[in-house]
Amino acid sequence: MSSNAPVEPRRTALDALHRSLGATMTDFAGWDMPLRYGSERDEHNAVRTKAGLFDLSHMGEITVTGPEAAQLLNFALVGDIASVGVGRARYTMICREDGGILDDLIVYRLANSEYMVVANASNAQVVLDALTERSSGYDAEVRDDRDAYALIAVQGPESPGILASLTDADLDGLKYYAGLPGTVAGVPALIARTGYTGEDGFELFVKPEHAVELWQALTKAGEGAGLVPCGLSCRDTLRLEAGMPLYGHELSTDLTPFDAGLGRVVKFGKEGDFVGRTALEDAAERAAGNPPRVLVGLVAEGRRVPRAGYPVVAGGEVIGEVTSGAPSPTLGKPIAMAYVDAAHSAPGTAGVGVDIRGSHEPYEVVALPFYKRRK
């Protein structure tokens, strides 16, 4: 970044609407996004018990097409993307040659030779550059579609009913981690049953010029069901309760998927070589035999809230570090995810605390996730 000129934040197609709703806005990866509209706890609870509406247009869409699109993605990413059926989606990662995580991704197979890769806003350019570089020699095209889509999510137990009132698409037949093209409120949309909240829900990829119309239709359809607009603040506490990692917190280039406890996304058995294979084989062995640190859940006994970067302590020694922490609306207590030394990582391990600005507060080590919805 050589320019010293102030960078204008990017605004989504729903920007004016958020402001008219009185949203508190925040900078997120260069985007001006809604942090909350009212009480973030009320928004959180609405998603757990009814439904919430999110603008996620900052997410980075990259389209990969061509006869060798599947082969390219199998080489560029750690998952077996060629095995994903048309209309299905897969959670996966893109790693460096040394195994470090560049980003975590959802890949949708839209057609036999067409995929949509959805990257985190903060990493979209990095992912785009890496895919473009790795596409050399493959008969496939990598296309920057970040400006081609707005993304609206409706999440929560009431979301299927709300969406069903606006579309003829077969939602009952749409499984978790599946996506199909359809029409919602008269607007063409890719309807995906995905999310980042730990609840049932949908993500709707539409053209930016249709975003306001769709948002308003969903708001109206959800009126009687308790749907409320939700900001990124509650999205963070929802994903934390669900034990889902956030890039820059639980995931980074310093960690491999195995270090993050997500080795299952790496498919060594797939056809062909892939970027990071050798380093990841070593990382898998290390994680199985002698893991350096392990990602765990922590639940507070008191009321002080752990924050990212706070040391985890036991017997006066630092044994780890908090990666994400927040007051959990569902548990009614502060919770955190943290990397801790393997010796202290078993659920129920006694004597673990978090150093909260100089005072050691007791914490219970628990298995992730903190919250799992009843199906």
Q: Residues touching another protein: how many (CB under 8 A)?
A: 16
**Residue 349 found at the interface with another protein (CB under 8 A):** no
**Residue 303 found at the interface with another protein (CB under 8 A):** yes
Amino acid symbol at 197? T
- Which residue from 297, 90, 52, 58 is spatially nearest to 197, judged by alpha carbons? 52
Contact by Cβ (8 Å): 365, 296: yes
Whole-angstrom Cα distance, residue 278 to residue 24? 46
Contact by Cβ (8 Å): 360, 313: yes
User: Closest CB to another protein among 79 and 327?
Assistant: 327
User: Closest CB to another protein among 159 and 324?
Assistant: 324
Closest contact distance (angstroms) between CB of 308 and another protein is 11
**Residue 278 found at the interface with another protein (CB under 8 A):** no
Closest contact distance (angstroms) between CB of 305 and another protein is 5
Output the CA torsion sign for 62, 65, 70, 71.
negative
* Residue from 155, 159, 194, 233 binding another protein (CB under 8 A): 233
**Residue 242 found at the interface with another protein (CB under 8 A):** no
User: Closest CB to another protein among 123 and 237?
Assistant: 237
189: left (phi over 0), alpha (psi -120 to 50) or beta: beta
3-state SS string for 283-310: HHHHHHHCCCEEEEEEEECCCCCCCCCC
Give me the phi and psi of 41, to 5 degrees please. -70, -40
User: Closest CB to another protein among 264 and 304?
Assistant: 304
**Binders in 31-60 for another protein, by CB under 8 A:** 35-36, 39-41
Closest contact distance (angstroms) between CB of 234 and another protein is 8
User: Closest CB to another protein among 243 and 334?
Assistant: 334
Residue 4, CB half-sphere, CA atoms under 13 Å: how many? 0
**Residue 249 found at the interface with another protein (CB under 8 A):** no
The residues of the shown chain that bind another protein, judged by CB under 8 A, are 24, 35-36, 39-41, 233, 237, 303-305, 307, 326-327, 334, 357
